Amino acid sequence: MSFDPVAFLERAVGIPSNEEVAEMREFLCETLAEHGVEPRVDAAGNVIASRGEGPPHTLLNTHIDTVSPHVPVERDGGTIRGRGACDAKGPLAAMLAAFLGSDPDGRLTLAVTPDEETLSTGAYALSLEFDRCLVGEPTGLDVCTAAKGRFEGTLSVRGENAHAAEPRSGENAISDAARVLEALASFDADATPHPDLGDPTLTPTVIEGGTATNQVPGECRIILDRRSVPPETAEGFASALAAHLESRVPGVDVDFRFTERETPFLEAFETPPDAAVVDALRAAGAGEIRPFGAATEASYFAREAPTVVFGPGVLADDAGAVAHGPREYVRIEAVRRAARILTGALDRSG
């Protein structure tokens, strides 16, 4: 039985996987079994299947979960619309075609994760040794060799409560937070831009403080979104932020804590543009070499071996958001072309 990535994709987009992925995972496993490959589902909910033997060991990774709300599938001429069309069931369809249809040079493993859009517990739980990794995301068929990381945490600014009629008898945490915000604006003033990813960003996204309209607030909290570039790590960012605030707002009682989560944050990564996996994709017809525009589970895999992000579809177009948006879509020809490119990159005769 030959595998049709477009028929698979149309069915897959019709299966909601924004709240739970059991039905989509079952469909994926049934598809693999129908084509002669018996997958396994590990304790973290990852679907894992392998073909071929010996080195090199290539890992294909993407995810089956999507963001909310679910958008019903619609086939409109040469386009498939609906939630997951490009993020990331389109890339999954292309990867499946290559996984099932190539004559792999060495061992080929497909590992499809269940919760990339939330905590990445599936990707973090994977314990695989491999020589190169291709992560499926909408890149417009370009080869993405780097991506920014994303950290999140809360700055707690502490003051002292007092009656608002006697404000000088307390310490106004909101007023102190204003000084902290001013200091944050200069945090990256001396940063060296990454040659591909550009400048890191530090963005206050939520602020809250105070409990009564007639009371000097004793605490104010600022949630920060950090988009990092190599070689910054989560620990390195926290240390640099503490030192910066100590020098810019001395005397203000401020403390930064990362948002609690089960898994490490997705840190920035970069793969050399002359890596063999990049050359293989380019030789097979992939587009330009560039960075990816969002944080991705490639962060975890890049710690182990050269890793790139590749797939059909785009994060956004001239009209606005595509992935995660109400108008999510992927071009059918792009899915077929991605399948051909991946097959050519993986095939021993490619």
Q: Can the peptide bond before residue 114 be classed as cis, meaning omega within 30 degrees of 0?
A: no
Q: For residues 94 and 116, what is the distance between their CA atoms, to the nearest angstrom?
A: 18
pLDDT given at position 137:
98
Cβ atoms of 155 and 255 closer than 8 Å = yes
Q: At what angle do helices 332-346 and 89-101 cross, to 10 degrees?
A: 40
- For 150, the token pair is 């994303």
pLDDT given at position 105:
86
pLDDT given at position 263:
94
Domains, the chain, ordered by start: 5-147+268-346 (3.40.630.10), 149-258 (3.30.70.360)
pLDDT given at position 311:
98
Neighbour tally for 242: CB within 10 Å: 13
- Measured in whole angstroms, the distance separating CA 39 from the mean position of its chain's CA atoms is 24
Neighbour tally for 322: CB within 10 Å: 21
Identify the residue whose tokens are 């831009």: 193
pLDDT given at position 125:
96
pLDDT tens for the chain, 350 residues: list them. 699 999 999 999 999 999 999 999 999 999 999 999 999 999 999 999 999 999 999 999 999 999 999 999 999 999 999 999 999 999 999 999 999 999 998 999 999 999 999 999 999 999 999 999 999 999 999 999 999 999 999 999 999 999 999 999 999 999 999 999 999 999 999 998 999 899 999 999 999 999 999 999 999 999 999 999 999 999 999 999 999 999 999 999 999 999 999 999 999 999 999 999 999 999 999 999 999 988 899 999 999 999 999 999 999 999 999 999 999 999 999 999 999 999 999 997 55
Distances (CA, A) of 154 to 206, 208, 225, 259: 9, 11, 9, 7
